Amino acid sequence: MSASTTTASEHGTRHQLNLYLDWAWTISYWICAPIGWVLWYILLAVLFIIKILYWPVAFLLQPVFIFGRVILNILAAPFRLLVQFQDLYIYLGIAAIVGIFGGLAVFGTYRFLYKVLRLESKSPEIPLRSTKQYREEKQQQQQIKGEIPLLSPRHLSPGALSPGYVSMSDGIRSRGGKRGLLAHTILEEEESDF
């Protein structure tokens, strides 16, 4: 009997909670429904006003929209052209990837065989010069240049030159009897096998 009493009291409590819930829903409906209807009609009025204002504004801005659409089409034209060559650059891209991997494989194989067969030759290490050594060498070169004068007797004496050498000034001085090679016309002979 006690089990039936507890269920009856629980049933009464549930009924009482459902009653409060029903009252809460009813009160909130009667409060919110008029506010909702008013907001709905205000929204419809605002949308109607926006639509009335939108038509003339859209009509006046129509050239701007058309110009914008033309500019977008012009800017998108190169990309549409690229789409037509899609197969070509996919083929070339795959060929480049295969070429890179092939080259890396050949390079790796070459390096491996080079080391396994001990074909490596040690390159001689070139000693690096310090700034002090560089300055000393430069100073020595300047001293050597300073010792040889530009107008030395060796350069000025005519006997130092080879006998076949004739300068332009010598040719101008002796215009009379002997003329240089430049004064003669070069005649080419044609050899024929016929």
What are the per-10-residue average pLDDT scores of the chain (194 residues)?
53 70 86 90 94 88 94 93 88 96 96 85 73 87 74 54 53 53 65 63
Specify burial of residue 94 (Cβ count, 10 A radius: 0-12, 13-18, 19+).
Answer: exposed
Residue 13: what pLDDT?
66
Instruction: Confirm whether 40 is domain-assigned.
Output: yes
- DSSP labels, 127-178: PPPPHHHHHHHHHHHHHHHHHS-TT-HHHH-GGGS-TT---HHHHHHT-SS-
Indicate the SS3 state at residue 125: coil
Instruction: Confirm whether 54 is domain-assigned.
Output: yes
Residue 1: what pLDDT?
46
Which domain does 15 fall in, by range? 2-61
**Residues 58-75: pLDDT tens digits?**
889 999 999 999 999 999
Amino acid at site 171: G
Instruction: Confirm whether 176 is domain-assigned.
Output: no
Residue 96: what pLDDT?
97
- Provide the domain count of the chain: 1
Instruction: Confirm whether 32 is domain-assigned.
Output: yes
Instruction: Confirm whether 38 is domain-assigned.
Output: yes
pTM for the structure as a whole: 0.29
Instruction: Confirm whether 147 is domain-assigned.
Output: no
